[in-house]
Structure 1
């Protein structure tokens, strides 16, 4: 059972890729991402709060104005795979997004990179 968590995360990422069982659409800079509320809420205190603020249980669209597309894409990869790919071109955007989403582990990794 030692790889159960990794297998679950891998399957959630596959489902994300195919938009299977996704129950929320997050819009960043006019790009829509079909995602899983439970995965986002488990990963980020800020996302959990934002999703709790959706009008009702049937509401499935959230627009994020305070993050960049580049930063959000990188954060999503981290949330769904556990891999954080940083380079000098994106690290500041990822840091800003991580700070907004209260992802302290990612924030720390970005600061260490800088």
Structure 2
């Protein structure tokens, strides 16, 4: 086999593909693990865009007369309440208690897709209510912490 050419600095240059030695075959029992961390955020971003455009949404949620569309898989994964409604009861249309603020719900729904939640300090109790009803304990915990400060 021909030695690798050297660059002006003396470092070996990569051989052209046709001159490179063939890769060693992996043993049949070998397990190769590959991770694509950007896929998770790209997937949720794509689902959120679909939600915003009303595409492929398969659940309607009503809050004080306002209707919100979402993906049942995202709802079930983000909220034990929605998990029970869409998976155990098979519901595709859900009416939430009138005690819930529609604006706070809309923001919490978006947070299920984005992992981010922004709220005015004056609205923390509204978000605490939404988190409590939907059994989204991470929101309940954060709102409780903010109210104690």
Report the TM-score when normalising by structure 2.
0.69
The RMSD of aligned alpha carbons is 1.3
Query: Which residue number in structure 2 is paired with residue 112 of structure 1?
Result: 145
Query: Which residue number in structure 2 is paired with residue 76 of structure 1?
Result: 109
Q: Distance in 2 between matches of 1:46 and 1:102?
A: 6
- Structure 2 residue corresponding to 1:11, chosen from 46, 62, 74: 46
Count of residues paired in the alignment: 110
Structure 1 position 6, deviation (Å): 0.5
Q: Partner of 1:33: helix, strand, or coil?
A: strand
Higher relative contact order by CA 8 Å / sep ≥ 6: 1 or 2? 1
Give structure 2 stretches of 5+ with no counterpart.
1-35
1:79-94 aligned within 5 A: 79-94=112-127
Structure 1 position 30, deviation (Å): 0.6
Give structure 1 stretches of 5+ with no counterpart.
none
Higher helix share: 1
- Structure 2 residue corresponding to 1:28, chosen from 45, 63, 75: 63
> Computing the radius of gyration over CA atoms, which structure comes out larger, 1 or 2?
2
State the 4+ residue runs in structure 1 displaced beyond 4 angstroms.
Answer: none
